[in-house]
């Protein structure tokens, strides 16, 4: 799926969340959005998903996601940064997702199993009672089995241990050939395993857009205090999840 943003701006009261952002992502391209809190990443993702009306133009394969949200939703898959605290059971969520996508639930069980998550054993457990890592694995399994042409993932590996992250990278690359990826992550591992291009955002605008292998990307991320702070925070979260 092709993603095109042209001169996109969004204000919340006196706060400038997006400031004239123009960003074009070709079909099948894998792009990471990185930046400190408040840089505009979440607002941009919400605009792409059709959850916000913005000034400027947002198009997915030429269509406005705000006006055509239902039609485009069938082609999107989303992994949020924070797992929802659902009261529904694992079985209910799995069956509902499979029905909406027209899939056999066994396909979700298969991917979850590769991530070392036994959905059968957890079938009657409310999703909100699962650990953060288990909820994340469930969300990843639901996303990766969907026949999506655009995957939007916000810190998908934040609650996974090192072994689970490696498994996720393998499954992702096996199952998403040809799909466009928009990834929000501050893990260098995620960037090197999943994306071709890095877009840095600060203050609601794009301050760098380059290949993930470009020397200036490594120089920028290694030298920025905000990035170092995010990495330290992530190391703390990993210890809590393990």
Who contacts 114 (Cβ-Cβ below 8 Å, separation ≥6)?
167, 171
pLDDT at 82: 76
Structure tokens at 56: 């400027």
Separation of alpha carbons 92 and 135, rounded Å: 14
185 three-state secondary structure: coil
pLDDT of residue 35: 87
In this prediction, residue 239 carries a pLDDT of: 46
The conformational region for residue 219 under phi > 0 = left, psi -120 to 50 = alpha, else beta, is alpha
Domain segments of the chain: what residues?
Answer: 1-75+154-242, 84-147
- The beta-strand segments (E) located in the chain are 3-12, 15-25, 30-34, 55-60, 76-79, 150-154, 180-184, 197-202, 205-211
Give pLDDT tens digits for 92-118.
Answer: 999 999 998 888 889 999 999 999 999
Is the Cβ–Cβ distance between 35 and 199 less than 8 Å? Answer: no
Q: Which tokens sit at 141?
A: 């399994």
DSSP assignments along 81-101, one per residue: SS-----SBHHHHHHHHHHHH
Q: Give pLDDT tens digits for 7-28.
A: 999 998 888 899 999 999 999 9
Q: Please give the CATH topology (third level) of the domain spanning 1-75+154-242.
A: Rossmann fold (3.40.50)
With a cut of 70, say whether residue 184 has pLDDT above it: yes
């Amino acid at each position: 799926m092709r993603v095109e943003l042209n001169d996109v701006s969004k204000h919340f009261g006196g706060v400038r969340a997006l400031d004239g952002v123009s960003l074009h992502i070709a079909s099948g391209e894998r792009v990471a959005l990185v930046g400190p809190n408040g840089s505009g990443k979440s607002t941009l993702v919400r605009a792409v998903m059709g959850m916000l009306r913005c000034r400027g133009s947002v198009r997915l394969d030429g269509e406005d996601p705000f006006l055509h949200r239902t039609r485009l939703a069938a082609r999107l898959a989303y992994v949020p940064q924070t797992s929802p605290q659902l009261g529904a059971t694992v079985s209910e969520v799995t069956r509902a997702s499979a029905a909406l996508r027209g899939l056999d639930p066994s396909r979700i069980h298969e991917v979850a199993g590769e991530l070392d998550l036994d959905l059968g054993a957890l079938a009657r457990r409310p999703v909100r009672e699962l650990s953060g890592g288990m909820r994340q694995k469930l969300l990843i399994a639901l996303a990766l089995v969907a026949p999506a042409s655009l995957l939007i993932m916000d810190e998908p590996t934040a609650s996974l241990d090192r072994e689970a992250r490696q498994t996720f990278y393998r499954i992702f690359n096996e199952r998403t050939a040809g799909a466009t990826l928009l990834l929000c992550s501050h893990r260098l591992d995620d960037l090197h395993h999943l994306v071709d291009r890095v877009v840095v955002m600060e203050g609601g605008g794009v301050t760098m857009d380059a290949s993930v292998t470009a020397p200036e990307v490594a120089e920028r991320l290694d030298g920025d205090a905000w990035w170092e702070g995010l990495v330290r925070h992530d190391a703390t979260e990993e210890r809590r999840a393990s």
